[in-house]
Amino acid sequence: MATRYLEIRQGVLSKNDQLAAGLRERFARAGLFVVNLVSSPGTGKTALLERLLAEMRAMGLHVAAVVGDLQTDNDARRLARSGAPVRQITTDGMCHLEADMLAGKLEGWDLDALDFLFIENVGNLVCPTWYDLGEDIRLVLLSVTEGEDKPLKYPVMFNSADVAVITKTDLTAACECNLDAMRANIRAVRPGMLIFETSAKTGAGLSELLAFLLAQRRAKYPTA
């Protein structure tokens, strides 16, 4: 049974990788920079993304978001307050997004008219690890409320991400979080990993994260 299970899983992942490669080509032709946000539930993905979308729109950038949740469209409605176009994927119990789910939600959108697409993945630090969505950058979010050892407990997710974002830093003192230990644990799992420290409530660190994302897009599409 174990061998059969692995064969099925490999087949599913292989199909997903092929679809993701097609999406990546499609995004590149459109000059669209795609960011995949992953984290455990309650880390603050939606709050952070709502602020990023609003600030990017204020700068004249064309941004959109796709949100994955097991049930409800609560997060999609929150993100829509930014004024950006938002679409919901309800997974009905599936703990991650897959490339075919994302592809189905892109129909009718003029990707050529967008600068950034953000994917808010299902809150989970295990399942989304394995599924490529054609993104340019994967951001893993970790809040100060979760404890400093979360990267050590979920090393594969942190290894699969490109950048770490510490959230809810306005609660650092209240949670007695040791940020030095949190940073050290992230880099113990992923040496040299770039880390941003942010608060969606106060706005701390958002300008640095935004500048990084803009620089990454310029590097990929220098004439855009």
pLDDT tens by residue, 142-175 = 999 999 999 999 999 999 999 999 999 999 999 9
What is the domain range of residue 186? 14-220
Whether 169 maps to a domain, the answer reads: yes
Whether 180 maps to a domain, the answer reads: yes
Percent of the chain's residues with pLDDT above 70: 95
Whether 3 maps to a domain, the answer reads: no
Q: Does 203 score more than 80 pLDDT?
A: yes
Supply the Cα-derived Rg of the chain in whole angstroms: 17
Q: Does 21 score more than 90 pLDDT?
A: yes
Whether 40 maps to a domain, the answer reads: yes
Confidence (pLDDT) at 92: 83
For 103, residues 6+ apart whose C-beta sits below 8 A from its C-beta are 19, 22, 23
Confidence (pLDDT) at 72: 86
Confidence class of residue 5 from pLDDT cuts 50, 70 and 90? Answer: very low
Whether 75 maps to a domain, the answer reads: yes
Lowest mean pLDDT among 87-96, 193-202, 211-220: 87-96
Confidence (pLDDT) at 146: 95
What is the total count of domains within the chain?
A: 1
H helix runs in the chain, sequence order: 2-30, 45-58, 74-80, 99-105, 150-153, 155-160, 172-175, 179-189, 206-220
Q: What mean pLDDT, rounded, does the chain reach?
A: 93
Whether 4 maps to a domain, the answer reads: no
**Spacing of C-alpha 158 from chain mean position:** 12
Dihedral, CA of residue 78, residue 122, residue 206 and residue 139, to nearest 10: -160
Whether 9 maps to a domain, the answer reads: no
**Spacing of C-alpha 110 from chain mean position:** 21
Three-state SS annotation for 142-168:
EECCCCCCHHHHCHHHHHHCCEEEEEC
Q: What is the rounded distance in angstroms from the CA atom of residue 106 to the CA atom of residue 87?
A: 9
Q: Does 4 score more than 90 pLDDT?
A: no
Residue at token pair 């919901």:
88
Confidence (pLDDT) at 12: 63
Q: Does 8 score more than 80 pLDDT?
A: no
Do 36 and 137 touch, CB atoms closer than 8 A? yes
pTM for the model stands at 0.92
Residue 193 is part of a domain; what is its CATH number? 3.40.50.300
Confidence (pLDDT) at 10: 61
Confidence (pLDDT) at 153: 96
* pLDDT tens per residue, range 26-83: 999 999 999 999 999 999 999 999 999 999 999 999 999 999 988 888 889 999 999 9
Do 125 and 40 touch, CB atoms closer than 8 A? yes
